[in-house]
């Protein structure tokens, strides 16, 4: 079984984590590092993927400055999304040349989140024709990836105890306002992000066929 190294970065600025991913992509591609799963939380930030636009940001740039929440245009797939404290973000840097194609990979990431939520008694699904994971019509997990010469980066985000009010300022992944939820909200009790991270990395290994090793 192939090894995937897990690295928990704690809380890290979005741009710093993005630069780290780009460096790892090249190292994984040439075989200098094993497949790697980065686990991280970000300070408040909005990002616009390749299908995103400023029309998906529901306030002007002056307001953005006063909020202190940056908006970055990035090279992942997808539209607008939010990252912040209480959200579990996972960036798999994987050599997909040996593993499988992009569609299979995205479906596997959805399965990772569905299985992780099931461990907490939450029945989630990944509806056909939509990317991400939903519970009762509300989105709880988002996916946005990029594949560079056969190696993946960016990844998934799972709402654990995130402040859902921040989603009011964007059209999140095409989801209408008020159609986003979190594990905390569904269970009506606090959930530790680090504990969910351990669940997710276990389910990641199961779904994608990796032996997970702490790095």
| CATH number, domain with residue 177 | 3.30.930.10
Residue the block writes with tokens 């590092």: 33
d(Cα 168, Cα 63) in Å, to the nearest integer? 14
pLDDT tens digits along 86-102: 999 999 999 999 888 89
Mean pLDDT along residues 146-174: 89
d(Cα 155, Cα 165) in Å, to the nearest integer? 23
- DSSP letter for each residue of 4-51: EEEEEEEE--HHHHHHHHHHHHHHHHHTSS-EEEEEEE-SSEEEE-TT
CA distances from 109 to 58, 119, 196, 210 (A): 29, 16, 15, 13
The rounded mean pLDDT for the chain is: 90
Residue 19, classed as helix, strand or coil, is helix
66 pLDDT more than 70: no
The domain in which residue 162 lies consists of: 2-214
Domain count across the chain: 1
d(Cα 131, Cα 19) in Å, to the nearest integer? 25
**pLDDT value at residue 167:** 86
* Reduced 3-state DSSP string for 73-139: ECCCCCCEEEECCCEEEEEEECEHHHHCCHHHHHHHHHHHHHHHHHCCCCCCECCCCCCCEEECCEE
Could you list the active site residues?
Answer: 173
**pLDDT value at residue 128:** 84
Q: Which residues contact 179 (CB under 8 A, 6 or more apart)?
A: 137, 138, 139
pLDDT tens digits along 87-146: 999 999 999 998 888 999 999 999 999 999 999 999 999 988 888 999 998 999 999 999
d(Cα 128, Cα 167) in Å, to the nearest integer? 23
Mean pLDDT along residues 13-36: 96
Mean pLDDT along residues 169-182: 72
Mean pLDDT along residues 185-191: 94
**pLDDT value at residue 61:** 62
């Amino acid at each position: 079984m192939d090894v995937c190294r897990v690295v928990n970065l704690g809380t890290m600025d979005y741009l710093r984590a993005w630069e780290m991913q780009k460096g790892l992509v090249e190292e994984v591609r040439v075989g200098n590092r094993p497949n790697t799963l980065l686990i991280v939380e970000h300070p408040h930030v909005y990002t616009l993927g390749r299908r995103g636009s400023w029309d998906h940001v529901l306030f002007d740039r002056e307001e953005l400055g006063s909020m202190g929440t940056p908006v970055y245009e990035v090279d992942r797939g997808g539209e607008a999304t939010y990252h912040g404290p209480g959200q579990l973000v996972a960036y798999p840097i994987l050599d997909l040349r040996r593993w499988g194609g992009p569609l299979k990979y995205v479906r596997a990431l959805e399965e990772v989140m569905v299985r992780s939520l099931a461990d907490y008694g939450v029945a989630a699904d990944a509806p056909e024709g939509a990317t991400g994971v939903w519970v009762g019509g509300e989105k709880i997990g988002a996916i946005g990836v990029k594949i560079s010469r056969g190696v993946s980066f960016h990844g998934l985000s799972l709402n654990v105890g995130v402040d859902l009010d921040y989603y009011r300022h964007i059209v999140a992944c095409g989801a209408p306002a008020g159609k986003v939820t979190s594990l905390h909200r569904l269970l009506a009790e606090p959930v530790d992000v680090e504990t969910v991270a351990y669940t997710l990395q276990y389910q990641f290994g199961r779904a994608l066929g990796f032996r997970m090793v702490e790095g």
